[in-house]
């Protein structure tokens, strides 16, 4: 049965909470992330009525620009990357609240004055939210400047982009830096993967349905896969990517965090504290990676990219096996894969169930274990694969499936894009979908053996699924995304 609603205007009533008045400081306001996600995201939240009743957005960076020029820049990027046109009453309201201040990493005095003026305009005690869309090398100076200027006081919040370090020591150093100025509850480490409706729906599907929760354990689940192939190469990120690689860029920051959602114990409530506790508990049980169960690949032509060394050993794809040492998941392999220049771009989480005994059926019926497949998209889908009798006079089993499509069951216009959802949560002070210091440090500990002794990269042709060892890693299972692509092509 469809539950389609009346449209975008209903979104504000669908979410009953609205954030208190805020001053928002957007560091790196002229950069790529601000252009593609943040400025369009704030305007989208204005469009659907989810911004505070009164707010100001102060853009800042070292680039010389007036507030009028910043408004023109915002109109340009919202027009190119936004979901709704930069026009109408909502647009007029939004741009009336924009301003721009030049600041440097070691001098926030003009910025502090602008924040104070914005607070006076709003009146009362508005909240203060900083978004640090900045390169890692600027983090220390800017965090220090925020502390020195008083812009971190009185419960001010700060959102940080990855990378959250590059290993255990650097992650701890970053957390020490942040904690020298901000309390942990003021810090919002953003992971857009966790902001996607489909990832959150894993929690809803599992914990609100008796159809699924009783089978969510090693007793019934033979394997878990989290698979995020990409068709893009490194493009203009080559310099960053060559010092990072697929494991640091994607696995620690995104795939492991999603794994925590999939495998956690039932939390006491859907709250930051309860979910954080259970996610941390399962991440603590995640075993350090075995480098012999990791495949690193590098696509042909990568070393010809600008800013990439001729002998680079950086992986552009990685597949690995993880294990969780607790009663629920003992013996269940967890396979993760991500990489560049692969045949398709997909985000798929698959739970494969054990084969049934089949004592009452002929041995040649070709039955396989059932699967629950979460396709992460905007909007996404959920597929349940199972066995059914094929039509005909004989008892022959064949594969069948049931599909849940968001756009067929709910009004897709109610959906917030991942960054929009997380920006709104941060304004509300809701840290449920943000990463905590302890989980970041733990995941670098899990990856430490791999970083200390990485297997050599193996070449693979662009547009293929990587080295042959990638398929050997998951045997006797197979990669769900690969099978889906092959079936759709056939």
Catalytic residue among 192, 254, 335, 424: 254
pLDDT tens-digit series, residues 137-192: 899 999 999 999 999 999 999 999 988 999 999 999 999 999 999 999 999 999 88
Least confident window among 63-67, 304-308, 397-401, 410-414: 410-414
**Going edge to edge, which strands form the sheet with 157-160?**
98-102, 55-61, 22-27, 127-132, 157-160, 187-189
Asked whether the bond before 163 is cis by omega within 30 degrees of 0, the reply is: yes
What average pLDDT does range 366-383 have in this prediction?
79
What average pLDDT does range 391-415 have in this prediction?
74
Other Cβ atoms within 10 Å of 432 Cβ, number: 18
pLDDT of residue 397: 76
pLDDT of residue 269: 84
pLDDT of residue 148: 92
362: pLDDT confidence band, cut at 50, 70 and 90?
Answer: low
Percentage of the chain surpassing pLDDT 90? 70
429: pLDDT confidence band, cut at 50, 70 and 90?
Answer: very high
pLDDT of residue 224: 97
Label the pairing between strands 334-339 and 221-229: parallel
Q: Are 302 and 234 in contact (CB under 8 A)?
A: yes
Report all structural domains of the chain as residue ranges with CATH numbers, in order of start.
8-161 (3.40.50.720), 194-411+455-489 (3.30.360.10)
User: Rounded CA gap, 446 and 248, in Å?
Assistant: 12
Per-residue b/e over 14-53, b at no fewer than 16 CB within 10 Å?
Answer: ebeeebebbbbbbbbbbbebbbebbbbbbbbbbbbebbbe
pLDDT tens-digit series, residues 281-340: 999 999 999 999 999 999 999 999 989 999 999 999 999 999 999 999 999 999 999 999
Asked whether the bond before 14 is cis by omega within 30 degrees of 0, the reply is: no
What average pLDDT does range 111-125 have in this prediction?
96
User: Rounded CA gap, 487 and 172, in Å?
Assistant: 45
Helix (H, G, I), strand (E, B) or coil at 383: strand
Helix (H, G, I), strand (E, B) or coil at 467: coil
Least confident window among 286-295, 339-348, 367-376, 387-396: 387-396
Q: Are 225 and 336 in contact (CB under 8 A)?
A: yes
> Which of 227, 201, 258 is CA-nearest to residue 380?
201
Question: Among this protein's residues, is 401 annotated catalytic?
Answer: no
Is the pLDDT confidence value at 119 over 60? yes
């Amino acid at each position: 049965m469809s539950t389609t609603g009346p449209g975008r205007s209903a979104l504000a009533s669908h979410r009953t909470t609205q954030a208190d008045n805020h001053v928002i400081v957007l560091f790196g306001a002229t950069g790529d992330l601000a252009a593609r996600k943040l400025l369009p995201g704030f305007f989208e939240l204005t469009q659907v009525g989810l911004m505070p009743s009164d707010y100001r957005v102060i853009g800042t960076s070292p680039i010389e620009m007036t507030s009028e020029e910043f408004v023109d820049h915002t109109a340009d990027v919202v027009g190119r990357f936004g979901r709704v046109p930069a026009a109408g009453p909502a647009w007029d309201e939004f741009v009336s609240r924009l301003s721009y201040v030049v600041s440097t990493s070691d001098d926030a005095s003009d910025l502090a004055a602008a924040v104070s003026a914005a607070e006076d305009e709003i009146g009362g005690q508005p909240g203060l939210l900083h978004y640090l869309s900045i390169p890692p090398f600027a983090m220390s100076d800017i965090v220090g400047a925020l502390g020195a200027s008083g812009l971190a006081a009185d419960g001010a919040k700060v959102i940080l982009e990855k990378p959250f370090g590059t290993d255990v020591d650097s992650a701890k150093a970053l957390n020490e830096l942040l904690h020298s100025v901000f309390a942990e509850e003021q810090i919002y480490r953003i992971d857009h993967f966790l902001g996607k409706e489909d990832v959150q729906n894993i929690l809803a599907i599992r914990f609100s349905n008796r159809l699924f929760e009783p089978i969510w354990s090693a007793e019934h689940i033979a394997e878990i896969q989290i698979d995020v192939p990409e068709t893009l190469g490194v493009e203009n990120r080559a310099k960053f990517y060559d010092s990072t690689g697929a494991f640091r860029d994607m696995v620690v920051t995104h795939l492991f965090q999603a794994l925590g959602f999939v495998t956690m114990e039932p939390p006491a409530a859907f709250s930051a504290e309860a979910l954080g506790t259970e996610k941390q508990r399962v991440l603590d049980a995640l075993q350090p990676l075995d480098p012999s169960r990791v495949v690193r690949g590098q696509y042909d032509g990568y070393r010809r990219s600008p800013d990439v060394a001729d002998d680079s050993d950086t992986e552009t794809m990685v597949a690995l096996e993880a294990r969780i040492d607790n009663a629920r998941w003992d013996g269940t392999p967890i396979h993760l894969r991500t990489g560049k220049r692969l045949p398709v771009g997909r985000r798929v989480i698959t739970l494969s169930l054990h084969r049934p005994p089949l004592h009452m059926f002929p041995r040649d019926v070709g039955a396989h274990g059932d699967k629950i497949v979460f396709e992460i998209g905007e909007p996404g889908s959920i597929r349940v694969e199972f066995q059914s009798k094929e039509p005909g006079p004989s008892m022959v089993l064949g594969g069948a499936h049931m599909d849940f499509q968001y756009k067929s069951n709910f009004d897709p216009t109610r959906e917030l894009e991942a960054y929009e959802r997380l920006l709104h949560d941060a304004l509300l002070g809701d840290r449920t979908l943000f990463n905590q210091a302890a989980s970041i440090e733990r995941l670098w500990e899990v990856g430490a053996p791999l970083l200390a002794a990485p297997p050599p990269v193996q070449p693979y042709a662009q547009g293929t699924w990587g080295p042959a060892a990638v398929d050997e890693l998951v045997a006797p299972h197979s990669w769900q995304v690969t099978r889906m692509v092959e079936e759709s092509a056939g």
